[in-house]
Structure 1
Amino acid sequence: MPNVLRNRAAAVALLFVSVAVAGCTGETPGTPSPTPGTSASSASSAAPEDPNVPKVTNPLDASAFVGDACKLLPAAAAAELGFTEPGAPKNDTNNPACSWGIRGKADSLQIILGSGNREKGMGGLAGLHKAKEAGQLKFLEPGPDVEGYPTVYYGLQDRRARGNCDLSVGVADDLAISAQAEGYDNEQDSCGTAQKLASAMIKTLKGA
């Protein structure tokens, strides 16, 4: 994978857990961790459940992928999306991540498994809604269900019109996985790819 894609993937993985620290001046979205001094228990019980957050009726267990998020997208599924090179794991953050690129093209994919956010009491789609309410995310919009699981489009800003789509799918009430497609020509291509990526991840989880 070109160095520019590796660097961008690393930045996205970091921002997924530190939007509150990074602020809202950049374009790459992420899911914040609780503010310093906030325990997981207090973060999860500080406010009543948000009725706008859809419940996950059939939660999936992603614990087997915490050590290697790349396994969420098997090589055959990646090839169907046009990515034939192996994914580049990013396990140096609280949330394991993996990115894919195409030599000579801007198209890239990234998966971020929000297991670290879960441990901090900011997991699931509920964590994104909390971040939006706190002003850490400027953009949050319901997305289409993927394989029966709820999703949201989210970010520091809405980047879809520029061919960058950030989709988070709730696989449990306290666990979300980010499916990101960047560098595409338009919103239809990028969000269509992000939805296919989310679908592939869910199928992998169901078969695990």
Structure 2
Amino acid sequence: MNRRLVLPGLALVVLALAGCTSTTGGTANPAASGTSDSATSTDGGGGDGAPKVSSPLDPAKLKSDPCSVLSASQRSTLGLEDGTPRTSEAGATCAWIYTSDETRSSRIDIAADPNTDGLAGIYDLYAKGGKDQYEYWEPADVSGYPAVYAATKDFRAQGQCKLLVGVTDTQAVQVFTQIGNGPGATQPCPYAEKAAEAMIQTLKEG
């Protein structure tokens, strides 16, 4: 099994964005951000094991056309421009810029995680010595799907949040948020969650 951890899989994007984060100018305000920045903890489902995905989703869109996982109406609700395809360590990725941020320093990235055993592989790495490497690890539930907020460096106070969501037992999705302005600049994780919820809805609709 391939258990290469690519959680920092959008690392190149993170590094590129970190240097251009601004605290002035426009403000990114997704329409719904009522969730607190700290993820809601959930039972890990058998000790250190990842929870099972009870209703698997077809991840084909994520792999072939990641920009298609947010519909036009969803982008409008979230306040996002059309997506731009990119390539990262995670493979095919799509990036969306927040329309309200004049500095263009606020964005969402979504990619299918390349690990072949989904969240289970990430949990396994964490259980086998990775605990000391993570500055945050917060299991969560996103629209009924197991997830975890996690990163080896905690840049949430600087507007960055990383979220992995299991859409099947062997496929996780990386959602990365960089918010340069407004409330999300210090509380970015609700933005990642809202994008993940929209993505799940799209995959459910097929």
Same fold (TM over 0.5): yes
Structure 2 spans left out of the alignment, 5+ residues: 1-5, 18-45
Q: Are the aligned partners of 1:27 and 1:156 in contact in 2 as well (CA < 8 Å)?
A: no
Q: Secondary structure at the match of 2:57?
A: coil
Matching residue of 1:16: 9
**8 A Cα contact 2:164 2:173, kept in partner:** yes
Q: Please give the residue correspondences for 1:108-127 in structure 2 after superposition, counting only pairs within 5 Å.
A: 108-114=107-113, 116-118=114-116, 123-127=117-121
**Matched residue of 2:115: which SS?**
helix
TM-score for both structures, normalised by structure 2: 0.67
Alignment of 1:180 with 2:173, yes or no, is no
SS at match of 1:96: strand
Name the structure, 1 or 2, with higher relative contact order (CA <8 Å, separation 6+).
2
Fraction of identical pairs, as percent: 32
Structure 1 residue aligned with 2:65: 68
Q: Which residue of 1 aligns with 2:145?
A: 149
Distance change in 2, residues 1:164/1:64 (3 Å)? closer
In structure 2, give the amino acid aligned to 1:179. V
- Change over 3 Å in CA distance of 1:93–1:130 after alignment to 2: same
Give 1:198 shift: 0.6
138 and 190 in structure 1: CA distance in 2 versus 1, 3 angstrom threshold: same
* Per-residue CA distance 1:16-35 (angstroms, 9 max, x = gap): 18x8xx9xxx799xxxxxxx
- Structure whose residues are more often helix by fraction: 1
Distance 1:89 1:198 in 2: 17
Q: Which runs of 5+ in 1 are unaligned?
A: 1-12, 29-48
**Distance change in 2, residues 1:142/1:93 (3 Å):** closer
Confirm or deny: 8 A CA contact 1:100 1:109 kept in the other structure.
yes
Aligned residue type for 1:201:
M
Q: Is the 8 A contact 1:142 1:152 kept in 2?
A: yes
Tell me the residue number matched to 2:159.
Answer: 163
Match of 1:31 in 2: none
Which residues of 2 match residues 61-100 of structure 1 at below 5 A?
Answer: 61-83=58-80, 85-91=81-87, 95-100=91-96
TM-score (norm 1): 0.66
Per-residue deviation at 1:151? 0.8
> In the TM superposition, what is the alpha-carbon distance from 1:140 to its structure 2 partner?
4.9
1:131 paired with 2:125, answer: yes
- Structure-2 residue corresponding to 1:202: 200
| Alpha-carbon RMSD | 3.1
